[in-house]
Amino acid sequence: MTPRERRIETLLFGRPDKVPLVPGGPRESTLEAWRKQGLPEGRDWWGALLEEIGLEPEKTKPRVDLGVSFRMMPQFEEKVLEHKDGHYIVQDWMGAITEISDEYDYTYIRSAKDFVTRKWHKFPVESRRDWEEMKRRYDSRTPGRIPADLADRCAKARDRDWTLAIHFNGPFWQLREWLGLENLCMMMVEDPAFVEDMIGFWTEFVRATLEPVLRLITPDEVGISEDMAYKAHSMISPAMARRFLMPAYRKWVDDIRQSGCRIVAMDSDGRIDELIPIWIESGINCCNPVEVAAGNDVVDLRRRFGKDMAFWGGVDKRLIAAGGAALKREITRLEPVVRDGGYIPGCDHGVPPDISWKNFVEYSRLLAEVCGWL
């Protein structure tokens, strides 16, 4: 099977030749630690890992970037507003005023290069006037949002053996970027009509941006980013999720399914078991990263939700760091779900620096055995 066929078969509870090997990836601080622990300087970590466990890298056809953007256009100017006491206060590209340690710079706000703690001071939407200004940055017809050569890119991508995935923010994630978490939650109670207006706008913007893509090509999966749960519960009640978020999910899923795409995935950190029924009702059939420290357990979730929901992730990063017998017990515990289908095991978020290179290799070898590669 090609990597594309294997992933689709796995997530749809089919019959893959092997389960995809997706142990998870390191960030900057993790790679820095691994270089001191045996990963050769300048060597690609994935190639080195496969060599360590005795596997050949799979060759695939060249990947094609469709070049479609769901980000604001134009973006705000990124600039440092203040630097004191070991911290930068910056205006980020989304218009928020954010504080980070001067160990980093504002490019770490732009992308998840490492595990960086931030503090937010101000968000770009504080009034309806701000909202009217923000809406101008999300026009699906803005030049550059859809590349002029989209048809050519899609034609090149049709004959692929790799997975074509499209990702965009869910309504909760997007409104949190505009308003901030506390402001959003308060507004859901105090001014729900305003929240529904913003979500309705975002829903239609995503649909309009997706439309030319889905008209030209069927993606293999579409991912929605939400990050809407804490360690013990969701950030808003299931009732609020149904009222405010489900209408957007259902419209998007309808469009995606009509294109022929069969996998719609939800990305949310935190404890997600009270949200999964809402996602299933909305037509979403996969989720990740299934963080164990938040009380998620793939074995229990499979028992409760059966084959209505596939997963990837779900391997306790703390036990990967521990290695040895504790790690082996974790992989053995998850093995029945791997055999049951609809599950790609991997680290339950980005791989942190307390996971040593030696333990990461050991863990990846155990995954390769369980997934049928060794």
Over residues 2-12, mean pLDDT: 98
- Whether the CB-CB separation of 305 and 328 falls below 8 Å is answered with no
pLDDT at 110: 81
Percent above pLDDT 90 for the chain: 95
Judged against a pLDDT cut of 90, whether residue 112 lies above it is answered with no
| C-alpha 13: how far from chain center | 21
Our CA dihedral for 331, 334, 336, 341, rounded to 10 degrees, sits at: -110
Q: How far apart are CA 295 and CA 284, in angstroms?
A: 21
- Determine which of 92-106, 230-244, 290-304, 349-363 has the lowest per-residue pLDDT on average: 92-106
pLDDT at 290: 98
Over residues 201-227, mean pLDDT: 98
Classify the phi-psi angles of 94: left when phi > 0, otherwise alpha if psi is within -120 to 50, otherwise beta.
alpha
Question: pLDDT tens, 58-106?
Answer: 999 999 999 999 999 999 999 999 999 999 999 999 999 999 999 988 7
Q: How far apart are CA 344 and CA 10, in angstroms?
A: 7
- Determine which of 63-77, 101-115, 143-157, 258-272 has the lowest per-residue pLDDT on average: 101-115
| Global pTM value | 0.96
Nearest to 196 by CA among 217, 182, 175: 175
Tell me, what amino acid is at 302? R
- Whether the CB-CB separation of 178 and 198 falls below 8 Å is answered with yes
Give 3-state DSSP helix, strand, coil % of the chain, rounded to 5.
45, 15, 40
Judged against a pLDDT cut of 90, whether residue 343 lies above it is answered with yes
Over residues 218-238, mean pLDDT: 97
**Domains, the chain, with CATH or none:** 3-72+125-370 (3.20.20.210), 77-123 (no CATH)
Q: How far apart are CA 167 and CA 265, in angstroms?
A: 9
pLDDT at 117: 87
Q: Is the dihedral angle over the CA atoms 291, 338, 267, 145 positive or is it negative?
A: positive
